[in-house]
A and B are shown apart, each in its own frame.
Chain A
Amino acid sequence: MNGRERILAHLAGAPVDRLPIMPITMQYAADQIGVKYIDYVTDHRVLVEAQLRTAEIFDIDYVSVISDPAREAADCGAKVEFFDDQPPAFIEDHALLAERTSLASLKIPDPLGGGRMLDRIQAAALFKEKVGKDKLIEGWIEGPCAEGSDLRGINTLMLDFFDDPVFIRDLFEFVIEMELRFARAQIDAGVDIIGIGDAAASLVGPQIYEEFVWPYEKRLIDGVKAMGAKVRLHICGNTRFALEGMGRLGCDIVDLDFPSPVHEGRAKMGPDQVLLGNLNPVTILMDGTVQDVLDKVAQCHNEAGPRFIVGAGCEVPRGTPPENLKAMLEYAKGVKG
């Protein structure tokens, strides 16, 4: 089986020759071909080359367009700070929606309009051309809480949940429509699965998650699935309060970051949900030994059961020893599904 066949079969509940592995690599991938990260995030050809090389070295079953959370907001007109060799980031003091009233006049950018969203779509198309039959191709969009934070400023958004719930709903409506258009364009370009990153959702607690975040995540996921793509949900951080809800979203894959125990995910989401994770990227993958990685993957697999994909809780950190990343494959090879 090749990586694409392996992941799709596993998601369908069919037998596989080994467990799929899907660790998120971004800066780590750039390092594999010796490029600065600014080139990775600004030139899809560099991103694709780095992803292909990384997938080849570590026999990773998929490739991804994920690079940073600032694609959509940049095309909306948000001020983004670029760094030479690390991910771009937002300056909250200059948030695009520093004034809530600005939302009314904010236009959804055309994903094909020549900005940072187009560069990602071009990456998807190039992946399709180069490895469309061999590797699962992952597109990427932001979830409502994450993109809302990017546009409004994360500190301010957290207060908005109490100060102006109507604004939150208006903002999330805007985000959902924009992200679905972005997903559509990536799917048209050839991606098999859409990853949805909603990092800020892990900060909000159970009440806000259920009332404000979950309904929009659900609409986003339903929308992407209606387009025919698979969905992977990735919420960085501690999601223990939200696991049950995450299990009701209908995702094909739910990632668990290291603060969210796999056995809790399994208990809250039932036996059928495919879980991915949750090696501690720093203490296990980067700072641990090969044996630490093997032991931890085995523990995660044991807690998750057969509906499991090997991966880290979040991005593989730059500086991770190659042998530690290879240990994921070593474990996966020993397991037929």
Chain B
Amino acid sequence: MNLLEVEGLEKSFGGVTAISDLHFEVPPGLVYSVIGPNGAGKTTLFNMLSGIYKPDEGRVRFDDHDLNGLLPHQVAQLGVSRTFQNLQLFFNMSVLDNVMVGCHLRSHSGPLSGALRLPNVRREEELTEHWGHEALEFCGLDDLIGREASALPYGALKRLEIARALASRPRLLMMDEPAAGLNDTETVELRALIRRICDAGITVLLVEHNMGLVMQVSDRILVLDYGSRLAEGSPEQIRSDPKVIEAYLGGEVQYAV
């Protein structure tokens, strides 16, 4: 039983095909990576999976639910969360508030009871704050709790996006280039974090350009080229796939593994 199934997905923008006849399955509990050169359609794919774009054709199923036609917040309700390639943090809020927004789907109080600050709201606030702390701790951000998000260095912001997504306790976490802009130490920490997320039972769908990271952390890899599937398999299979080496890596690049 797969967690995510994509069948015959198509998307074009004004005549330019971004994704064509794409199909793949993500089994639960894995780190599943999507790689491909710039413009291969990776972010478009993510935007379709999370409900931001509507596919022209094809079907996306998540854990027996059809995602077609759902809005992003409805997709999120099913247990999908994501991070963004260009940071989409709430820079007008504190670090803790950011992850507490992540807990939105785990709490229920409405505006009226919130405005009146009823006792059950107060309890829920404490609980949310606790969850927020948990998520920050999980991502190694606990010492930054009191800060404003706008005051954080870049590497911490990247982790804050992951913490916020984790705070919603998703079953599928989609990460769009989490290592972009990180230095080597931070990338090593990120690798450990991705493994920890996976070990916590959350399936990870990863888009990443850092091949070292992808090869080390992934259980399976999908290679996209011009919006269609070039290859799929374990890191070893991908590494030795002549099609991949030919088309994507140009046959000369060595992995830093």
A and B are partners in one complex rather than unrelated chains: no
Contacts from B to A (Cβ < 8 Å): none
- Chain A positions within 8 Å of B, measured between CB atoms, are none
